[in-house]
Chains A and B, each alone.
Chain A
Amino acid sequence: MNGFESWALTLAVFLPLLGAALILLIPKESETAVKTVAFLTAGITSLVGLWILTAFDFKSSGRLQLDVNVPWIDVINSRYHIALDGISLPLLLLSMVITLLCVIYSWDHFPEPHNPKAFLALLLVLATGMNGTFVAQDLILFFVFFELVLLPMYFMIGVWGGPNRQYAAIKFFLFTLFGSALMILGFLALYFLGDNTFDIPELIANGSTIARGTQILIFGGLFMGFAIKVPMFPFHTWLPDAHTEAPTVGSVVLAAVMLKLGTYGFVRIALPILPEGAAAWAPWIGGLAVIGIIYGALGCLAQRDLKRLIAFSSVAHMGFVMLGIATLTDYGINAAVFGMVSHGLITGMLFFLAGSIQERFGTREIARLGGLLVQAPRLGWILGFCAMASLGLPGLAGFWGEFPAILSAYNPAGGLPVGLFRGFMVVASIGTVLAAGYLLWMYQRTAFGTPKEEFEAKHIHDVHGPEWVAWAPLLVGIVAFGVFPGLLFNITDGAVQGIAKSLDGSAETADARSGATPVREEKLPLAEEAAH
């Protein structure tokens, strides 16, 4: 391993922090310098990301690569262990790209009260937290990065947010902290039961020795931490508030990357380390996931605020991701990872759009909008495109998060209640219709028709330069991943297979222990009768 290889991930994580520190040194008045530094930092970080992409050995994407493993906190045997595999890589790149795009997007529209210096510094700190979470291979390191994102986001919402920002900011903060407080208890339990280590790969190797009952308990702790971040029903109520009140860039980062921290946690930590706990929890997770799908969709139907609608749609979409995870199968987890990325691209894009619409019209109230296609056709069509992507139209990235999740629910991992999961599958499929419902209904009211009187005379800019630059990669990504899902699946699959292998049969052994016979056959008794 040459020098840069051992430094690449560290750079990817800490360059933004360095940039933030640099920005703090620049006087507040020289805004251009601040922006330039932020742009360069995010850009160089992305270049590092590109380099990582070239250095990554795709043939063995299941192996942890670019490993750095040095002592950190000896006393608790916690190490600075960062590395990435096929699951981390796409998310890390997503985080980098989103950060860069956010810097570009905010180039000349900083929300009130302006102050680019603080805003960009916070954004870069946020980036460090996000990047770090995706590469951390040590529970404590993971925890620190996982929490590191809270503060910047709190301030971002609170300072630059909408009218109800203070409530939203604290709510976001409290919820997440509540989850992570229980999560850290779970981590500690893993430490003591998993041979006094916080190292994730080691724990995966050791973890299955933990007794089933204990696994279930610990999984409960981790579940709280991750599920709130995801957010799963019924822990989702922070999300609409946070999204609605956050400034555009904040919403984008929140939706595109931060929600993934939770699902990533499930995939990276909770599932492989606690396979039997996962198997015991899976039906509940699946149930909450499909409730979330329907519930989020119904919530969307009731929204009058564009951003809030998109926020609720995240609840539904993350439901699909969680459903995939709950199946504990390779299909499901692949779908989940794909869902994370595609949701990142699509919902991130939707929030950009909502921000731009608000900037132009001064409102996000759906009822007051209308005829966007008349006044700003490009904006309108992009909105339509994203709505279509969001509702899971095949050919666009969203589909690959949804359909394989549904698919995998038909055949969950051995030992899980097949009938129940098939029920989930049907409910989730209904969710796709509801998704079409709320998105198109929103689209009809905002983009179709003719402009409302109050905005009739107003000159509305169509998409402008920085917006194009910031959006184009996302739009291209949505199409590219939609048409060539292999771009992503082939990266994630290796790693996912590893996880699926560790999960394989966990539910069965659990069942065997509890004396039940595993159910694993294709025949549905009901259908059998119907056929005759």
Chain B
Amino acid sequence: MTPLLDYHALAPELILTVGLCLVLVVDLFVAEDRKVLVTNLAGLTVLASLVPVLTLAVDGADRAMFGGAYAVDNFALLLKGLFLVTGYVTLLMSVNYLDEGDYYEGEFSFLLLSSLLGMTVMASARDILSIFVALELLSIPAYLLAGWRKRDLRSNEASLKYYLLGVLASGVMLYGMSLIFGVVGSTNLYEIGEVLNSSFGRLPLVTVGIFLVIVGFAFKVSAVPFHSWAPDTYQGAPTPVTAFLSVASKAAGFVALMQLVFIGFLGRDDVWGPLFWALAALTMTVGNLIALRQTNIVRMLAYSSIAQAGYILVPFAVAGDSREALATAQSASITYLAIYAAMNLGAFAMVIAIARRTGSGELSSYGGLFKYSPALAVIMSAFMFSLAGIPPLGGWFAKFMIFRAVIEAGTASAVVLGVIAAVNSVIALFYYANVAREMWFSPSPEGVDDRSRVRVPAALSAAVVITLVLTLGVGVYPNAIARLGDMAVLVR
């Protein structure tokens, strides 16, 4: 009999758990002005938990526990790695932000690690109960983190909106899960998959159940029309948290969706195919259109990340069309997520860096940046255009993979969705380029006299460098990421 627990497989989660307890404890004993140590400890924890991820990857064998309910395969490992790196970069972005903003640092790190733990669990969860619990673990700390700037009304509001809608969404999702459970009688996704492939799976109740579950995650990934929390929350939350939400939290939502849809609901592509089609088209279009009219950069990035979620949803819409399309679609989504993580984190890191001078998230305050801090302007432009998908920056390959999935499917509706995505990428360029326009072409706003270079602290610089290198590297040599995305396909 195989042992119940495979400690190697659980090592990343265990390290994180130990680390977050340690952070909580150490925080008690560290003086107020040396809280940076706690953040560093959290960073080390994240890095340490990356180690077993790597060793597991090197090991290469797929591991599963609890009757397959907890799996450590390529998919899980890649996404764990993604979450951990994202978490680390978020920590790098937070260090000075928290320190200088005089916010709670130890607890921040603790909650961030908790949320990360939820995500790493999510990547392995092949059981709707585990998925639910992981989702809650990654969400609840995030609700709190969004309100971390306690004295700021906007931050309060962000937290409240996120919380309320999040809880409602999980209520809807739970209801859906209960219906699925009711039909199947098991929480294990593989078993669900089997039953849904049978005639039981044709019940309208299953349709409703699948739909409600997807709604819950559509909220998480802020797909239109379940997106409305995102702009307000992103704008109000502390910027590093926003970065974390828009990347890690969203990625976790997609991870859950992939597991649910591609393992559990695979037989009912007649439900989720059109649903994702509509969600993707709506999300891209609405997100982009509203983003056109934003004047606040963070809010604009919020809508941008909604639109980006739309692109990631595109492969879901076409995944059911054929066996080949299924694999391509997964690889496209995963690749997109990874690239999106790098460039979006980078963009937020730059927002933080630039806000150190302008003290504002208003786009108009970016004027003249190219003149006084050309490096920042160039890097920010790189992230913006990467998000827009302009070669040779990484974003192009992400979009390319989406298009590839669409064309691979080859059906008329798929191609139409591809064209919608193509048109949307043009609309999107307008507002991304608008940021570059403001930085490069416009003069400094009135009353800004400080024309010296913006100084960027080391940790933040590190965050920028990591994301920039990834963004550029992927753009020029996409092979590495593409291969990873290909390997990590969940269901072939």
Contacts and interface: CB of A to CB of B under 8 A. Distances in A.
Does A pair with B? Answer: yes
Given A76-B482, A144-B391, A188 B404 contact: yes
A185 B482 contact: no
A510 B397 CA distance: 36
B433 A170 contact: yes
B474 to A, nearest CB: 10
B422 A75 contact: no
Contacts of B103: none
A187 B477 CA distance: 19
Contact of A173 (B371, B397, B410, B433): B433
A507 to B, nearest CB: 26
Contact of A75 (B396, B429, B440, B483): B483
A107 interface: no
Given A147-B391, A150-B390, A170-B430, A181 B422 contact: yes
A140 interface: yes
Interface in A146-167: 147-148, 150-151, 154-155, 158-159, 165-166
Contacts of A170: 430, 433-434, 437
B392 interface: yes
B193 interface: no
Contacts of A281: none
B482 A191 contact: no
Given A75-B485, A155-B440, A174-B429, 19 more contacts: A75-B482, A76-B404, A143-B391, A148-B391, A154-B436, A158-B436, A158-B437, A158-B440, A166-B441, A169-B437, A170-B434, A173-B429, A173-B433, A177-B425, A181-B425, A184-B403, A185-B406, A189-B407, A192-B407
Contact of B423 (A148, A178, A184, A191): A178
A32 B391 CA distance: 31
Which of A75, A118, A165 gathers the greatest number of chain B CB atoms within 10 Å? A75
Nearest to B410: A192
B483 A185 contact: no
A284 interface: no
A192 B430 contact: no
Contacts of B408: 188, 192
Interface residues on B, range: 35 or more
A174 B390 CA distance: 11
13 contacts: A144-B396, A154-B433, A158-B436, A159-B440, A159-B441, A169-B437, A170-B433, A174-B433, A178-B422, A181-B423, A185-B407, A188-B406, A192-B408
Interface string B398-439: 011001101110100001001101110110011001101100
A462 B248 CA distance: 63
4 nearest A-B pairs in the assembled complex, by CB-CB distance: A181-B422, A75-B482, A188-B407, A147-B391
Contacts of B277: none
A73 B370 contact: no
Nearest to A175: B426
B374 interface: yes
B27 interface: no
Interface string A271-311: 00000000000000000000000000000000000000000
Contacts of B425: 177, 181
Interface string B357-400: 00000000000001100100000010001001011100011011
A174 B426 contact: yes
A238 to B, nearest CB: 12
Contact of B400 (A113, A158, A184, A192): A184
Interface in A423-462: none
Given A73-B482, A144-B396, A181-B423, A191 B430 contact: no
B440 A148 contact: no
A4 to B, nearest CB: 24
A72 B476 CA distance: 9
Nearest to A181: B422
Contacts of B477: 72-73
Contacts of A177: 388, 390, 425-426, 429
Interface of A: 28, 71-76, 113, 118, 140, 143-145, 147-148, 150-151, 154-155, 158-159, 165-166, 169-170, 173-174, 177-178, 181-182, 184-185, 188-189, 191-192
Which of B381, B404, B430, B434 gathers the greatest number of chain A CB atoms within 10 Å? B404
A413 B261 CA distance: 52
B479 interface: yes
B422 A182 contact: yes
A188 B440 CA distance: 34
A74 B433 CA distance: 31
Interface in B443-492: 477-479, 482-483, 485-486
B321 to A, nearest CB: 13
Contacts of B404: 76, 188, 191
Contacts of B374: 28, 118
A74 B422 contact: no
B227 to A, nearest CB: 23
Contacts of B391: 143-145, 147-148
Contacts of A73: 397, 477-479, 482
Nearest to A72: B479
A74 B483 contact: yes
Given A174-B430, A185-B415, A185-B422, A158 B441 contact: yes
Nearest to A118: B374
B430 A148 contact: no
Contacts of A169: 433, 437, 441
B326 to A, nearest CB: 15
Contacts of A188: 400, 403-404, 406-408
B374 to A, nearest CB: 7
A165 B415 CA distance: 35
A75 B479 contact: yes
A113 B374 CA distance: 14
Interface string B202-239: 00000000000000000000000000000000000000
Contacts of A165: 441
B400 A140 contact: yes
Contacts of A192: 407-408, 410
Contact of A182 (B399, B419, B433, B436): B419
Nearest to B371: A113
A25 to B, nearest CB: 12
A185 B418 contact: yes
A433 to B, nearest CB: 38
A435 to B, nearest CB: 33
Contacts of A158: 436-437, 440-441
Nearest to B375: A24
A148 B425 CA distance: 16
